[in-house]
Structure 1
Amino acid sequence: MTLLQTLTEQLGENKVSVGEQIPAKHFSDASLFPPTVPIALVRPSTTLDVSNILRLCNAARQPVVVQGGLTGLVGGAHPKGDEIAITMENMSAIGEIDVVNRTITVQAGATLAQVQEAASGVGFFYGVDLGARNSCTIGGNVATNAGGVQVLRYGTTRRHIAGVEAVLPDGTVISSMSKVMKNNTGYDWPQLMAGSEGTLAVITRVCLNLMVAPKPLLTALCAANSIEDALLVCRRLQEKFDGKLVTYEAMWRNYMEAGEHWGLLTAPFNTAPDITLLVEAALGMDEAARALFETTLFEMLEDGLLHDALIAQSESDRLRFWQLREANYEYYRHASKEIHYDIAVPLDRIAGFVDFAETSARQTLPGSRIVVYGHLGDGNLHVAIYPADAAQAIIPFETAFYDAVKACGGSVSAEHGIGVAKLKHLLHTRSEEELQLMRTIKTALDPHAILNRDRVFTAKPVL
């Protein structure tokens, strides 16, 4: 009996698809790599299903790729032609919400938006938020240690993990779903899953910490004339608002110009600033909170750190401000090609790095458009290149770009992960010794390298 026949017998015909039965959405993720049809698509609905799938695939030395919301940009969930794809779409249940211990337990296929809504429904709050909230899954968020637009205040996904249930490549189920805040009993293996990109185990359930819902947000759109001024503004806001600054997003002049050029946004200020800032603080809506927010911004206008500011007077104003920041999700539709870079740079090196990137793009990609935006408070920059010609050679720019990231002590991936797309650039951020440690862990847990093979780094299977 073949492996596919055995999988079908154990799981049922409705959980195993091959060939034309496989929906096209499972041929690729958001990385824009050429679509690839996997050997098969399997749809587990329980942890036992996942255990059986991995046990059988491991015995047959059959590589698998794990798929969540397929929103990743580095090819981590993009199938290869010799892999079986495991989709977590049928494992999306919202489980217990424990109001005493302030936790929520969900299956890995639940979306971020579902978790946010479930938490809000009982008066709590989940601190991770990103643009793909309606599609990205919690399992994927853990596997990539997702960040997003509120990291400055609430941290990445790693900070919110209370417990994890996962299945090792040989089918062994491991579970640490304790809700205690302190558990100093040896290796914290659930944290090892955060950022592992599906290379060590398949996450099946997650217990997440919730918090009391913050006070309502006050929102402003601000204009700064330099990155140095913008960083000073951030520091002053953190001091004035006593840790309640939630969001500090930056859009460079080139970002706004691209949006205007493609008709996707309207300039909010009469004079275009070097940096447009989206600021949100959880201060509340009472008179004292509004006075503090307005006074703080006014003081920075008087000091010359800002040259303009718009304060949202309604929820529709707030959404309009956010439409500017999220317009980038449509940029690629208006260009022949988009190459996206997700990096982290020390705050004091941002200005010089962006100047270098812009100059390098002009020199190596004449006629191209470069767009810079990101989470300024934590140093996470998104840099997108739209070549003048889809055939334009990107390698000279990319080589210089990642060399510059390394030179300034940055990271080649701030939140999207390494996947396939950044394999060759990992040594720009990690040492050979660190890479060898990763391989040692991978080999210990997945000796036959069946799980997300050749993502993050190349792991040689033990035959």
Structure 2
Amino acid sequence: MTMDMVKELRALIGETAVLDAADVATRSAGAMRPDNLQGAALARPASTAEVAAVLGWCNAHNVAVVPVGGLTGLVHGADGSADTLMLSMERMNRIEAIDSRQRCATVQSGVVLQTLQEAVEAEGLIFPLDLGARGSATVGGNAATNAGGNRVIRYGMMRNMVLGLEAVLADGTVVSSLNNLIKNNAGYDLKQLFIGSEGTLGVITRLNLRLWEAPTTRNMALLGLEDFASVTALLKRMDRDLGGTLSAYEVMWQDFYRLVTTEPAAGRPPIAQDYPYYVLLESQGADPEGDSDRFAAALESAMEAGLVVDGALSQSESDCERFWGLRDDVEQVFRDGYPVVFDVSLPIAEMEGYVAGLRTALAEQVPGHHLLVFGHLGDGNLHVIVQVPHDQGTALRPVVERIVYAPLAAFKGSVSAEHGIGLEKQPWIGISRGAEELALMRTLKGALDPRNILNPGKVLPPAP
């Protein structure tokens, strides 16, 4: 079947558009990307019509399809197998239009996030979604996983930035909700079916994305705080005092800050490494003189109130990039052990107790571990990384997963804040979704993909 598949798909979309299994095996997702990149073939359609042709053929022949974007996911959402067709949007990478008056962009789903950011910035606009993998992640993948990133506190998740989209269903039907309206209450909002569905309900091919006017000022500070009560109080104070310009509120626990500011890491500590918590604060506005004064005054007030004990204030754009570089240097977690990576969401008031509970349980059950915590605390998202000895990673993973996920049930937390479910978090989705919700998800999956060819086995656990 494999040779027949390659031959027939090449007849549909072109000789060079379909790679065989040997070519698929040469592709690497990188050290931080765990996907198992197996596949009988990899199809690279160049248009929506070609995507429809490929899916129609696969549906008729009952061939499983795994859509892939920039391969920057962390939950095995793009795992394939020897009889799977991998479907890449890499050739659908055109920015079709940027409308500065309507403040929107029409793009194909294979456009790389950073490419879009740079293109709209040239028009005096921004697409505010931003994350460490911006140079590889695609906007279609961002939509399929409902990506979050660094500025959710101000602009929301990817879901908030999609005005409309076009998707192809499992049988090759093209569904277009490709409008550019912020307000559109004409019946069901069908685009939301595909945003965050991880390619299990349809393949996103084109999007209309909302843009914003580019801010003309950016002020940042890296701050040292003595306790978690100060962390939460500072968030509320800065959100109020900055008058709606707060764009990021990132927190690093001490162990993570030390990791990314100690050789061989490239970063150097802007402030001492001795504080329990570090806050990365960013404000974006449009009043060069007034914004800087307001930012400095807000920080001075916070220091006078005893919330902040040390800090470094950005003096230039390069300082801002250096501060963000520390927060984004996540690959340092490979230095001292095998990292088990988590992405959870919970009420801010519960975070201190939650992390304390993790420390206690890990100390009792996982000898030789190292706990690293950081994240987008302003929107309730923590990244938890548990380093364990390299030779014990596989054996200890189930123990660590139970320690990290089980406590979330008590306060209705989420096992996935922004990374998705994929295969990795599928056994734990019941902590965050009730039986009725899972049943409705299965109903949607059965209606849109009755032969279960689209990313089968991902997101939803088997029915009880």
Shift of 1:156: 0.4
For each residue in 1:220-273, what CA deviation from the matched residue of structure 2 results, as whole angstroms up to 9, or x when unmatched?
A: 111111222111101111111111100111100111233355531433323611
Distance 1:170 1:459, change over 3 A: farther
Q: Which runs of 5+ in 2 are unaligned?
A: none
Distance 1:241 1:36 in 2: 46
Shift of 1:174: 0.7
The TM-score, its normalising length taken from structure 2, stands at 0.95
Shift of 1:27: 7.3
For each residue in 1:2-24, what CA deviation from the matched residue of structure 2 results, as whole angstroms up to 9, or x when unmatched?
A: 33322121112111121323352
Alignment correspondent of 1:274 = 276
Distance 1:20 1:89 in 2: 18
Q: Contact conserved, 1:346 with 1:379, CA < 8 A, in 2?
A: yes
Match of 1:444 among 435, 442, 447: 447
Deviates more, 1:52-61 or 1:11-20: 11-20
Alignment correspondent of 1:292 = 294
SS at match of 1:228: helix
How do residues 376-395 of structure 1 correspond to structure 2 at under 5 angstroms? 376-392=377-393, 393-395=396-398
Alignment correspondent of 1:186 = 187
Alignment correspondent of 2:121 = 120
Alignment correspondent of 2:49 = 48
User: Do residues 371 (structure 1) and 372 (structure 2) align?
Assistant: yes
Q: Contact conserved, 1:217 with 1:285, CA < 8 A, in 2?
A: no
Match of 1:326 among 315, 318, 328: 328
Between the two proteins, the alignment pairs up a number of residues equal to 458
Alignment correspondent of 1:249 = 250
The TM-score, its normalising length taken from structure 1, stands at 0.95
Shift of 1:87: 0.7
Distance 2:31 2:353 in 1: 33
Shift of 1:71: 0.2
Distance 1:250 1:415 in 2: 16
Q: Contact conserved, 1:343 with 1:413, CA < 8 A, in 2?
A: yes
SS at match of 1:391: helix
Alignment correspondent of 1:427 = 430
Deviates more, 1:406-415 or 1:439-448: 406-415
**Partner letter of residue 44 of structure 1?**
P
How do residues 143-154 of structure 1 correspond to structure 2 at under 5 angstroms? 143-154=144-155
Q: Contact conserved, 1:439 with 1:459, CA < 8 A, in 2?
A: no
**Partner letter of residue 321 of structure 1?**
F
Q: Contact conserved, 2:337 with 2:388, CA < 8 A, in 1?
A: yes
SS at match of 2:453: coil
**Partner letter of residue 277 of structure 1?**
V
Distance 1:271 1:51, change over 3 A: closer
Deviates more, 1:218-227 or 1:269-278: 269-278
Q: Contact conserved, 2:24 with 2:37, CA < 8 A, in 1?
A: no
SS at match of 2:121: helix
Shift of 1:97: 0.9
Q: Which runs of 5+ in 1 are unaligned?
A: none
Shift of 1:178: 1.4
Distance 1:416 1:321 in 2: 23
Match of 1:407 among 393, 406, 410: 410
How do residues 58-457 of structure 1 correspond to structure 2 at under 5 angstroms? 58-260=59-261, 263-264=264-265, 265-270=267-272, 272-284=274-286, 286-332=288-334, 334-392=335-393, 393-457=396-460
Distance 1:185 1:68 in 2: 30
Distance 2:392 2:260 in 1: 23
Deviates more, 1:179-188 or 1:256-265: 256-265
SS at match of 1:220: strand
Distance 1:39 1:378 in 2: 41
Distance 1:297 1:28, change over 3 A: closer
Distance 1:220 1:261, change over 3 A: closer
For each residue in 1:126-181, what CA deviation from the matched residue of structure 2 results, as whole angstroms up to 9, or x when unmatched?
A: 12111111100000000000000000000000001111011000000111111222
Shift of 1:192: 1.6
Distance 2:359 2:261 in 1: 19
Distance 1:21 1:389, change over 3 A: closer
Alignment correspondent of 1:7 = 9
Q: Contact conserved, 1:57 with 1:63, CA < 8 A, in 2?
A: yes
SS at match of 1:390: helix
Distance 1:59 1:270 in 2: 62
SS at match of 1:356: helix
Q: Contact conserved, 1:218 with 1:284, CA < 8 A, in 2?
A: no
Give the alignment's Cα RMSD to 1 decimal: 1.8
**Partner letter of residue 451 of structure 1?**
L
Q: Contact conserved, 1:139 with 1:204, CA < 8 A, in 2?
A: yes
**Partner letter of residue 67 of structure 2?**
V
**Partner letter of residue 82 of structure 1?**
D
Deviates more, 1:400-409 or 1:44-53: 400-409
Distance 1:115 1:175 in 2: 21
Distance 1:286 1:214 in 2: 10
